[in-house]
C-alpha cells in the first residue's frame, strides 16, 4: 500500500507562576508514498500534520512503525515531505509498500467520482467515496486563505488529513487537507491538487 499513518510528538513550553514547564502532546494524520531512492522513502503529507514535531513516526500497513525526518515543506500550501531510511525498515515491510501512481488533477471535471483514503492511527486504513464537487475553490482557515483546492463530498476527517484523493483509475489526484468545520456543513472536504503538490 502507498498510504501510511503519521504520528508526532510535539513539546509545548509554557510559564506558570514564573516557572517554565514543558507539555508533550501527540498528533496523527496520514501520508502518501510518492517516491524512493536506493536508501530513502519519500512520503508526502500536510504541513500541519508535522508542524512543530520533535518526533515523527510513520506506520505501515503491516503494523511496523519507523522514525522519519522532515525533508522540507511549504507552509502556505500545507505540504510537507518526510523521509524514512530503508535501513530502519524490515525487508517484509519494504516488499509490501508501493509508490502512488500520480494522476492529472488539471484534467479533473466536476462530477467525477473520487475516493479518499487515509490511515488514521488506531483505526487503520479507511476509505470514503464521493464526487468531485467543485474545482479551484478558495477557503478561509485560521491560518489564512487556501486557494485552488479540489472540493469533494468524500468524507475527510482529521485522521486522514495528508491522505490520498484518488480517481477511478486509482491515480493520486489530490492530498486531502482541511475539512470545512462550520456548524451544519456536511460533505465539504478539500484536497490540494496533485499538480500543485508535486513541484513542491
Residue 48: active-site member = yes
Active-site residue, selected from the candidate residues 78, 133, 146, 177: 78
Burial 19-39 (b: 16+ CB within 10 A, else e): eeeeeeeebbbbbbbbebeee
8 A C-beta contact, residue 10 and residue 25: yes
Based on the residue annotation, tell me whether 133 is a catalytic residue of this protein. Answer: no
| Nearest 10 degrees: Cα torsion 66, 69, 71, 75 | 110
Do the beta carbons of residue 149 and residue 168 sit within 8 Å? no
Angle at 124 between CA 11 and CA 111, to 5 degrees: 105
Catalytic residue, chosen from 5, 48, 105, 153, is 48
Q: How far is residue 175 from each of residues 18, 47, 52, measured CA to CA in Å?
A: 43, 11, 20
* Residues identified as active-site: 48, 78, 161
Amino acid at each position: 500500500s502507498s498510504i501510511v499513518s503519521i504520528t508526532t510528538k510535539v513539546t509545548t513550553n509554557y510559564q506558570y507562576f514564573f516557572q517554565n514547564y514543558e507539555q508533550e502532546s501527540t498528533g496523527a494524520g496520514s501520508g502518501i508514498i510518492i517516491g524512493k531512492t536506493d536508501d530513502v522513502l519519500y512520503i508526502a503529507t500536510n504541513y500541519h500534520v508535522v508542524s512543530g514535531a520533535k518526533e515523527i513516526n510513520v506506520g505501515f500497513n503491516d503494523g511496523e512503525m519507523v522514525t522519519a525526518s522532515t525533508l522540507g515543506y511549504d507552509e502556505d500550501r500545507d505540504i510537507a515531505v518526510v523521509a524514512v531510511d530503508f535501513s530502519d525498515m524490515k525487508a517484509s515491510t519494504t516488499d509490501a509498500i508501493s509508490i502512488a501512481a500520480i494522476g492529472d488533477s488539471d484534467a479533473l471535471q466536476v462530477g467525477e467520482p473520487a475516493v479518499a483514503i487515509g490511515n488514521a492511527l488506531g483505526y487503520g486504513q479507511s476509505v470514503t467515496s464521493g464526487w468531485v464537487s467543485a474545482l479551484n475553490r478558495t477557503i478561509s482557515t485560521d491560518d489564512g486563505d487556501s486557494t485552488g483546492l479540489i472540493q469533494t463530498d468524500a468524507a475527510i476527517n482529521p485522521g486522514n488529513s495528508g491522505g490520498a484523493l484518488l480517481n477511478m483509475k486509482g491515480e493520486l489526484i489530490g492530498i486531502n487537507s482541511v475539512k470545512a468545520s462550520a456548524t451544519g456543513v456536511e460533505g465539504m472536504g478539500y484536497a490540494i491538487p496533485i499538480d500543485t503538490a508535486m513541484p513542491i
